[in-house]
């Protein structure tokens, strides 16, 4: 991109970016580029834009349209609302007003990822999303605390939600974050929703914050989260009636199942799963698993594994070692 055009694009972004930390970094890079003539850093940030697809968004937590940051989330949430209202309106027309004219609640969850130097985090993205939805009078539940991804689509189905957003980059490296979208059926979006949402995001009125969103006033919904988790685990427990565990228990008794159970080793790979897996094991009446201690707590730095994906070579080395040392059978 031509340096003059690149500078103008960066200045336009600066005028809309609500993050003082990101604005400061962009301004510093602009000053450096003008004095040195090297625009490569700015080019990496402003020469392209991340696109909303069936997997939502995923990119590095960093300023500019090539990355994921506060302004990208504002633009995305505003565009998503435009698309939701348009889609809901068309569906309402087809059904002759049977939907009652009101969108169901939006469900938002987040994990522990963050870039503290730029004050970027999954929780902040969740708060921004709730602030935008609330501004447009759409009921919204921001789940309290770090939650597992499946809780969001479960909540969408359980509460008749219009959509669900999960802020996470799943197995990506620590610098990345993502924005997964679930439709009213509890499934990740499919075509043509993705292209429709992308087009809505790019409408001029959605590329600028429609107001100053004060996320310090945005709170999580503690009671709703507690109720949803109870329902979630109840559904898991109800499913026991038709599975092998139930058959063995009824035939031989719980003590047989417990004494015959393999020894499980679990690693959350510095993610948020441990308390939820613990509760699932408890729901099934299984003996406690052996957690890999150094990887059990949420850690946005992912200190012991560079790529927290069990499919990656070496990612399970510590779990294998823990299993070997403690007689574990299943990881």
Residue range 151-185, pLDDT digits in tens = 999 999 999 999 999 999 999 999 999 999 999 99
Residue 306 — very low, low, confident or very high, per pLDDT cuts 50/70/90? confident
Query: What is the model's pLDDT at position 182?
Result: 97
Active-site residue list: 170
What is the number of helices (H) and of strands (E) in the chain? 13, 9
Can you tell me the mean pLDDT for 99-106?
Answer: 76
6 and 37 Cβ atoms separated by less than 8 Å: no
The three-class DSSP label of residue 103 is coil
Residue 331 pLDDT exceeds 50 = yes
Query: What is the model's pLDDT at position 156?
Result: 97
d(CA 213, CA 42): 27
Residue 96 — very low, low, confident or very high, per pLDDT cuts 50/70/90? very low
Q: Dihedral, CA atoms, 91, 92, 95, 96, nearest 10 degrees?
A: -150
Name the residue among 190, 174, 180 with its Cα closest to residue 148: 180
Query: What is the model's pLDDT at position 95?
Result: 46
Share of the chain above pLDDT 70, in %: 90
* φ and ψ at residue 28, rounded to 5 degrees: -65, -40
Task: Give the pLDDT confidence of 226-249 residue by residue, as tens digits.
Answer: 999 999 998 887 766 555 555 655
CB atoms within 10 A of CB 132: 26
Query: What is the model's pLDDT at position 236?
Result: 80
> In this structure, what token pair is assigned to residue 157?
């189905």
Query: What is the model's pLDDT at position 5?
Result: 92
Q: Dihedral, CA atoms, 315, 318, 321, 323, nearest 10 degrees?
A: -90
End-to-end CA distance of the chain: 49
> In this structure, what token pair is assigned to residue 306?
């560079």
What's the maximum distance between 2 C-alpha atoms anywhere in the chain?
A: 79
Query: What is the model's pLDDT at position 243?
Result: 58
């Amino acid at each position: 991109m031509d340096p003059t055009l690149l500078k103008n694009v960066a200045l336009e972004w600066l005028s809309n970016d609500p993050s003082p930390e990101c604005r400061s970094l962009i301004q510093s890079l602009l000053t450096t580029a003008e004095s040195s003539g090297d625009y490569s850093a700015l080019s990496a940030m402003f020469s392209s834009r991340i696109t909303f697809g069936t997997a939502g968004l995923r990119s590095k937590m960093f300023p500019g349209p090539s990355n994921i940051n506060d302004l990208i989330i504002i633009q995305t949430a505003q565009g998503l609302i435009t698309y939701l209202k348009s889609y809901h309106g068309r569906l309402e027309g087809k059904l002759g007003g049977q939907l009652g004219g009101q969108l169901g609640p939006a469900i938002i969850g987040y994990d522990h990822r963050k870039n503290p130097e730029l004050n970027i985090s999954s929780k902040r993205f969740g708060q921004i999303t709730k602030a935008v939805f609330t501004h447009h009078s759409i009921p919204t539940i921001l789940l309290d605390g770090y939650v597992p991804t499946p809780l969001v689509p479960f909540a969408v189905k359980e509460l008749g939600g219009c959509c669900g957003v999960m802020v996470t980059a799943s197995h990506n490296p620590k610098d990345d974050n993502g924005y997964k979208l679930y439709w009213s059926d509890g499934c990740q979006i499919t075509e043509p929703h993705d292209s429709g949402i992308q087009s809505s995001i790019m409408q001029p009125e959605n590329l600028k914050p429609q107001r100053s969103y004060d996320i310090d006033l945005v709170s999580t919904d503690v009671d709703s989260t507690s109720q949803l988790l109870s329902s979630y685990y109840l559904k898991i427990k109800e499913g026991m009636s038709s599975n092998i565990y139930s058959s063995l228990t009824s035939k031989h008794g719980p003590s047989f199942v417990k004494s015959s159970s393999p020894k499980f080793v679990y690693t959350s790979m510095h993610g948020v799963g441990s308390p939820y897996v613990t509760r699932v094991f408890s729901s099934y009446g299984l003996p406690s698993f052996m957690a890999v201690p150094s990887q059990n707590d949420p850690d946005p730095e992912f200190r012991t594994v560079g790529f927290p994906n069990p499919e990656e070579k070496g990612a399970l080395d510590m779990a294998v070692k823990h299993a070997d040392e403690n007689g574990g059978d299943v990881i």
